[in-house]
Amino acid sequence: MTAMNPTIAPPERRRGRLQLLLLVAVVVGPMVLATLMYRFDFWVPEARSYHGTLVAGETGLQALGVDQPSDRWQLLVTAPHACADACQRLVYLARQVNIGLGREADRVVHALAVATPVDGDYASTLQREYPQLLQQPLDAERHRQSGTPDAPHLWIVDPHGNLVLRYPAGTQGKGVLEDIKHLLKISRIG
C-alpha cells in the first residue's frame, strides 16, 4: 500500500504562482506604464482636443491686468491698446459664441477689457448692440509684463479667474464654441 502525499504537486504550485504573477502584472502594470509615460514623456499623444492655446499653470486675470473676476465663465476680449477692428471682431465673436451656447448661455458672460477708453461711436454701439457686455479696465503695464503678445485676444476664463484658453484675432467661432461647450460639460463650477 502506498501512502498519499497531502502536499500540492510541484507543477500545480508553479501554475498557481504564474497565475498570481499575471494577475499582479495586469493590475499594477498599467499604473507603472502610465507613471513612466508621464515621468519620461514618451508615447504621449500629440493631438489635442481644444482649438485655442492652453494657458499653462495657474495664471489669473490679475497677471493679465484685469482686476474684476466674475462668478461665471467668461469670454474675455483684451486689447492692450484701443479697441480697433480686430478687437471689435473678437467682441462680436464672443457675443455670437455666447448666444450659440443656447440653454448654457447663462453660465457664461462676455466681457471687454481695454487699456484705453473706447471711442464715442463704438461706445454707443456697445451700449446699443451689446447690452450684456461687461466692460473692464485693462492695466497696460501688467499686461505687458505678463508676456502676452501685444494684440487683441479672446480668452476663456473660469469662474475662479484662471485663464484657460487663448485665441488670437481672426480665430473661427466654431472652435471657440466647441471648446467652451466641452468645458461647461465637464465643469461643475459656474
State residue 28's pLDDT score: 92
Q: What is the model's pTM?
A: 0.75
One-letter amino acid of 69 = P
CATH 3.90.1150.10 fits 53-186, yes or no: no
Grid cell listed for 73: 465663465
State residue 15's pLDDT score: 85
Q: Give me the tens of pLDDT residue by residue for the chain, a chain 190 residues long.
A: 555 655 655 677 788 888 999 999 999 999 999 888 888 888 877 767 788 888 877 678 888 888 877 889 999 999 998 899 999 999 999 999 999 999 999 999 999 999 998 988 999 999 999 999 999 999 988 888 888 888 999 999 999 989 999 999 999 999 999 999 999 999 888 7
State residue 45's pLDDT score: 74
State residue 156's pLDDT score: 95
State residue 158's pLDDT score: 92
State residue 9's pLDDT score: 54
Q: Parallel, antiparallel, or unpaired: how do β-strands 73-79 and 153-157 relate?
A: antiparallel
Concatenated DSSP letters of 55-83: --SS-BHHHHT-----SSEEEEEEESS--
State residue 3's pLDDT score: 59
State residue 51's pLDDT score: 86
Between the alpha carbon of residue 166 and those of residues 23, 43, 74, the distances in Å are 45, 26, 12
State residue 188's pLDDT score: 84
Which residue's entry shows cell 498557481?
16
Write down the domain spans for the chain.
10-44, 53-186
Whether 164 contacts 158, CB under 8 Å:
yes
State residue 60's pLDDT score: 84
